[in-house]
Amino acid sequence: MAVVLQNVVFPTNQDPDVLPLYADPETWATVKCMPLRLSDSASIDNVLSRHSARVRPGKRVSYATYFNAFPASYWQRWTVVRDITLNISTSGTGTVIVYRSNSGGQQQRVESRTVKGDGVNNVFQLPLNSFGDGGWYWFDLIAGSSELVLERATWETTAKPVKTGKVSLGMCTFNKAEYCVETLANIAADPALREVVDKILLVDQGTAKVKDRPEFPQIAAELGDQLRVIHQGNLGGSGGYSRAMAETLQLADTDFLLLLDDDIEFETESAIRALQFGRFSSNPVIVGGHMFDLYDKPVLHAWAEHVKPGPFLWGPSFPEQHRHNFKESNLRQTPWMHARLDADYNGWWMSLIPKQVIADIGLSLPVFIKWDDSEYSLRAAEHGYRTVSLPGVALWHMSWLDKDDSQDWQAYFHTRNRIIAGLLHSTQPRGGKLMQNSSRQDIKKLLNMQYYAVQLSINAMRDVLAGPEKLHSTIKTVMPEARALMSEFGETRVWLPDDEDHPVSRGGRSLPIIQDPTWFEEESRPELQYPTGINLALFTAKTVAKQWLREDATDKIPELEYAKRDALWWHIPKHESVIIGSADGRGKMWYRHDRAKFRRMLREIQVLRRQIERNWDTLAKQYREALPHITSVEMWLETFEK
């Protein structure tokens, strides 16, 4: 019996911005090795339904797109599927051409057929035996003298799945009720997804409850006993998702748990694809979904993310992945997307975890937020369970462009949890360059008068040295304590336009950075060039010495005002008092040199860094021995009940 692995789908929300992710009717050229779109043919009017679309007379549309091409290399590498069937139903006259690509992105024609008539079904048998390094399948439609309608298309297999159980959805939220009810409504409206979902576990940790939204009663009635709302104190993402994991272990019909963030827009087809990939995987794997920008919808956050072993720092495996815009370069125009890329971890904005993995390795590390998702995948890999960031599986999530969580209360968790994850999983002696890199980040912040963020980092290192025993007992209090500390640091205040005592710089506002052409920056504004190598070392030494001797500027008028994006870290230290726009655009923040804080924090950073490096092996042993206990269901249940 044939099983649908992937439906060809289209957006039904009348949003033209997402069209490049579903269909590519454009004409492209290459100029200086860069793709150039020569047309603007995409129209939301050509979307007829969730599964059908039309091609205008004489036009050609390619479905070599993120959501509608088939990622053959991933299915060949990780699953038991060895051949697939492409079923295409059309009405009208035209041509269907099936293509494949190799790992370098070269397009290769597989088969072509002429179609004529209403409801004509064409079946293409396609092997999965030559995609070891990469490659996709897709098809194009070319209309004749009249329009050609794609009625439906599916990618199927007759292979037998390894697992057949259902998926439960685990959603964790804190005061994002509006987003949650929209996601629940999308799920309720998709009968195909409802059919494979066992339970929807909504862990509400906020004060603005999802159940209090006016839309909730009707949606809850539609979902019936599939929906289970769980209320608990704010334990962060690690506590919310751990609750969903613990509940999943008690569900007999569930084989997989799909973790979803709260501030998302959900492509429900992606959940079905992730489940099918999990069901057909040769061995249990964590199936991760990609993240698109909710406010710039054709833009992808990253494709496959890694933890670099030297500095033990997360990020895309290479820079070109970061914020790729499919409107500017679609699948056929982006060769690196055709190589199969392996990931170390996937963010928990969307991640499908087999129940077997949860039972084997435990729940999340009790760290509130940050590094819980990456640590979990690293831990899973040590137990033989890999993570696959699967193309074609994605959602839209709020962008981080208008945030800077490295400077707010989350700076504590960035530092503490990165070091803990390194103690647990780094294979480098004394964590490699982790502490050196972390110390450099703190010095950058210190030179930029970000004393609050540096103090949080200092507190984080102290807590790492205290050992793993208090992670559970402090999980509810550590975030409020970090936020309360803001009152001691003047740079955390956001000055709004209507504030009577709003600071004004004597030098006005700095010139904006012009991204293009680059010659403008290089020739006209050399101060914008990033210092590297020996220049970076000299700059840091000179600037640290200067700030060590510099008098306090707490009462000095700001010298200049910068937009947030223009406040380059190597430029701001030239000032004693400066205004910088807040990341969210609400107002301005006033940074002033404080010699006493600078001297104290610089000393403490170095002392704590040396302590952790000197005691690395002892600390690593403590945390690794404690890991099975602090991630156990029993330990987490005690925390849930407190």
Taking only the tens place, the pLDDT of each residue in 267-302 is: 999 999 999 999 999 999 999 999 999 999 999 998
Nearest 5°: CA angle at 162, between 159 and 167?
110
| Predicted pLDDT of residue 515 | 61
Residue 612: exposed, middle, or buried by beta-carbon count in 10 A (0-12, 13-18, 19+)? buried
d(CA 272, CA 82): 20
DSSP letters spanning 92-159: SSEEEEEEEE-TT--EEEEEEEEE-SSSEEEEEEEE-SS-SSB--EEEEEEE-SS-EEEEEEEEEE-S
The pair of structure tokens assigned to 237 is 């993402």
d(CA 135, CA 127): 12
The pair of structure tokens assigned to 325 is 């815009």
The pair of structure tokens assigned to 347 is 């963010």
- The residue among 631, 174, 634, 642 whose CA lies nearest residue 367 is 631
What letter represents residue 482's amino acid? A
d(CA 13, CA 389): 26
pLDDT digits (tens, 9 = 90+) for 48-90: 999 999 999 999 999 999 999 999 999 999 999 999 999 999 9
Structural domain spans, the chain: 3-157, 166-304+342-397, 411-597
d(CA 177, CA 183): 10
Residue 169, beta-bridge partner list: 200, 258
The CATH classification number of 3-157 equals 3.90.550.60
Q: Look up 373 and say whether it is catalytic.
A: yes
The dihedrals phi and psi of 32, each to the nearest 5 degrees, come to 55, 45
Task: For the chain, count helices (H), then strands (E).
Answer: 17, 26
d(CA 607, CA 369): 26
Q: Classify 501 as helix, strand or coil.
A: coil
| Secondary structure percentages of the chain, helix, strand, coil, to 5 | 40, 25, 35
Q: Are the beta carbons of 576 and 592 closer than 8 angstroms?
A: yes
Q: How far is CA 161 from CA 5, 80, 82, 126, 251, in A?
A: 11, 8, 12, 18, 20
Label the pairing between strands 166-173 and 197-204. Answer: parallel
Residue 350, beta-bridge partner list: 260
The dihedrals phi and psi of 405, each to the nearest 5 degrees, come to -80, 0
Q: Are the beta carbons of 387 and 285 closer than 8 angstroms?
A: yes
| Predicted pLDDT of residue 519 | 40
> Which residues of the chain carry a pLDDT beneath 70?
515-528
Largest separation between any pair of C-alpha atoms in the chain? 84
Residue 517, preceding peptide bond in cis (omega within 30° of 0): yes
Q: Given 204, 261, 293, 373, which residue is catalytic?
A: 373
HEC profile of 151-190: EEEEEEECCCCCCCCEEEEEEEECCCHHHHHHHHHHHHCC
| Predicted pLDDT of residue 512 | 85
| Predicted pLDDT of residue 205 | 97
Same fold, 3-157 and 166-304+342-397: yes
Q: Are the beta carbons of 359 and 279 closer than 8 angstroms?
A: no
| Predicted pLDDT of residue 520 | 40
Query: What order do you get walking across the sheet with 94-101 strand by strand?
Result: 60-62, 137-143, 94-101, 107-115
pLDDT digits (tens, 9 = 90+) for 85-141: 999 999 999 999 999 999 999 999 999 999 999 999 999 999 999 999 999 999 999
d(CA 300, CA 66): 10
Classify 166-304+342-397 by CATH class. alpha beta
